[in-house]
Amino acid sequence: MENIEKMLNQILENQMSMQEDIRELKENQVSMQEDIRELKENQISMQEDMIKMQDDMKELKENQEKVQQQLTKQSIIQEQMARDIKLLAEGHENILEIIERRDQELKKEFSDRFDEIEAAISDISNDVRFLEHKGYQNEKELFKIKESLKV
């Protein structure tokens, strides 16, 4: 009987040990369930964050495309401005050449006209001196005539 009692004690100890193990397993199970619940919550949060990131990425891509379009437009405008500036510079250069040429023509015209006017003034001056001389001679003659008539 002792043997049976020993066996019963051992069975009882094993049963108690098993109950303790089961209790620990249940505690671990509860802890694992809490961990799983937290993991699921974190997973949901991560999925929401990923959706937000995808939306942000989509918005960034759209903005990048808009900026690229604006840059393309600006490049086209800049190229057109460069052509326009080049044309303006060429036009300005042509205008300066025309002004310089016209200035030279006007200087020559004025010089020619000045020479003509100078020659005309010289002729008029000679004519005035001649008329003065003639006037003096006529006065002399008139004086002589008056003197001869007085006699």
- pLDDT tens profile 52-87: 999 999 999 999 999 999 999 999 999 999 999 999
Residue 101 pLDDT level (bands cut at 50, 70, 90): very high
Reported residue count of the chain is 151
Higher confidence at residue 140 or residue 47? 47
Tokens 């249940």 -> residue: 26
Tokens of 50: 């990923």
The full set of domain ranges for the chain reads: 1-107
Per-residue b or e along 43-54, where b marks 16 or more CB atoms closer than 10 Å to that residue's CB: eeeeeeeeeeee
Percentage of residues of the chain with pLDDT beyond 70 = 99
